[in-house]
A and B are shown apart, each in its own frame.
Chain A
């Protein structure tokens, strides 16, 4: 059974710092991995999608990596801003079903 774990559960960092969020999954047989952002009470915003054959994806200040063999992914946020404060969710996709981690609540201190 696929399980997705995100560490840490919560993180507070000063504005301007670079940071890394971690995601691990137990079954490496995935089609893709997706990182989402969720603001309180809102839906999910897709940040980056990494196909199983890819190693990383970049969008602006965000960079996500995937090591399928070890069951790990990281989301790197460069030069953090207060607007980056949100919950970040990692999700793996297989057999038309997405399994989510519990998320990392990120707070950027002005």
Chain B
């Protein structure tokens, strides 16, 4: 059974550009959530999707957005990149919702120069 797959693994972008990250959840999982990990702030929740609907959102600016497709795959978009957006972005999938175990992908390392 394949795990959570995130692409690409590494990305270098220039300030002001935009970027799209992809996450394919474990087969059968319908909930996908996104997290940003930085050395200073640790892991912070971005947003969570279930059946193509955003159910919860963290405290990030509107430059951070996401969506989920009918096959549960999810994308995260960051527009007008800033140096401070450099981080490891992690995606997690779970079967349904809060009572179920979350499984994480290997992450996408984004570097903004």
- Residues on A lying within 8 angstroms of B by beta carbon are 31-32, 34, 36, 41-46, 49, 51, 89, 91, 93-103
Contacts and interface: CB of A to CB of B under 8 A. Distances in A.
A96 B97 contact: yes
A85 B43 CA distance: 20
Nearest to A101: B42
Contact of B45 (A44, A46, A49, A97): A97
Contacts, number: 64
Given A31-B99, A95-B98, A97-B56, 18 more contacts: A31-B98, A32-B99, A32-B101, A43-B6, A43-B106, A43-B107, A45-B104, A46-B104, A93-B98, A93-B99, A96-B56, A96-B97, A97-B45, A98-B102, A100-B35, A100-B42, A100-B44, A101-B42
B98 A32 contact: yes
Contact of B105 (A34, A43, A98): A43
A95 B99 CA distance: 9
Interface of B: 4, 6, 31, 33, 35, 42-45, 48, 50, 55-56, 58, 88, 90, 92, 97-99, 101-107, 109
B43 A89 contact: yes
A45 B31 CA distance: 18
Given A43-B90, A44-B90, A89-B43, A94 B104 contact: no
